[in-house]
A and B are shown apart, each in its own frame.
Chain A
Amino acid sequence: GAGVSQSPRYKVTKRGQDVALRCDPISGHVSLYWYRQALGQGPEFLTYFNYEAQQDKSGLPNDRFSAERPEGSISTLTIQRTEQRDSAMYRCASSSNSYEQYFGPGTRLTVT
């Protein structure tokens, strides 16, 4: 079946612009996670949802970052007033109740 998909795969934006990154999880997966991965580092947790409820947003670096999953399926991670330090790979994962997280291909964000 289809895996986790993310769009766009690549995004180049100018400093100060807002960006929205989309994640479409595996059908039926209850939980959805967002991570950020800098070059040469492992993924770092940002936030996660069970169904439409945001369970933990402790990893969001500041209030420019927000996420939603209004119908318990597709999720959007929004970064307002982007800064160069926001440049990274943003990864989405989904999970059923099996505790295994399945990752999408990621969105490479570059802020110029």
Chain B
Amino acid sequence: AQSVTQPDIHITVSEGASLELRCNYSYGATPYLFWYVQSPGQGLQLLLKYFSGDTLVQGIKGFEAEFKRSQSSFNLRKPSVHWSDAAEYFCAVGEGNEKLTFGTGTRLTIIP
């Protein structure tokens, strides 16, 4: 069965600092990988996805993620965070058009 681990429950970074959120997955085949963001009171918004090809993918809001098959990882990065990036971030793995399996999320706090 597929699974996703987000080892960091809560991360605090200063505004303008760089960010990396970790995600490890367990999946038998080549996974479809996603990062979603959930702001307070809002739904889940898709930040970026990886299906195949270039292992470094760009998303919205200046985020990027790198797929590393050897490490079973799909870490999310941003060079310089803004106060508006404070939210909860979920990594997910899927197979085609079927269900997504989500991690437990990482809550990001931004300090001035």
Contact = CB atoms under 8 A, between A and B. Distances in A.
Contacts of A43: 44, 90, 100, 102
Interface in B70-112: 90, 92, 94, 96-105
A25 interface: no
A100 to B, nearest CB: 6
A56 interface: yes
B21 to A, nearest CB: 13
B49 A56 contact: no
Contacts of B36: 103
A91 B44 contact: yes
A103 B97 CA distance: 14
Contacts of B44: 43, 91, 93, 103
Contacts, number: 57
Contacts of B32: 99
Contact of A56 (B4, B46, B99, B101): B99
Contacts of A104: 43
A65 interface: no
Contacts of B42: 105
Contact of A97 (B92, B97, B98, B102): B97
B51 interface: yes
A31 B99 contact: no
Closest 3 CB pairs of A and B: A42-B102, A45-B99, A103-B44
Given A42-B92, A103-B45, 19 more contacts: A4-B43, A33-B100, A35-B100, A40-B105, A42-B90, A43-B90, A44-B102, A45-B99, A45-B101, A48-B98, A56-B98, A91-B43, A99-B32, A99-B49, A99-B94, A99-B96, A99-B97, A102-B46, A104-B43
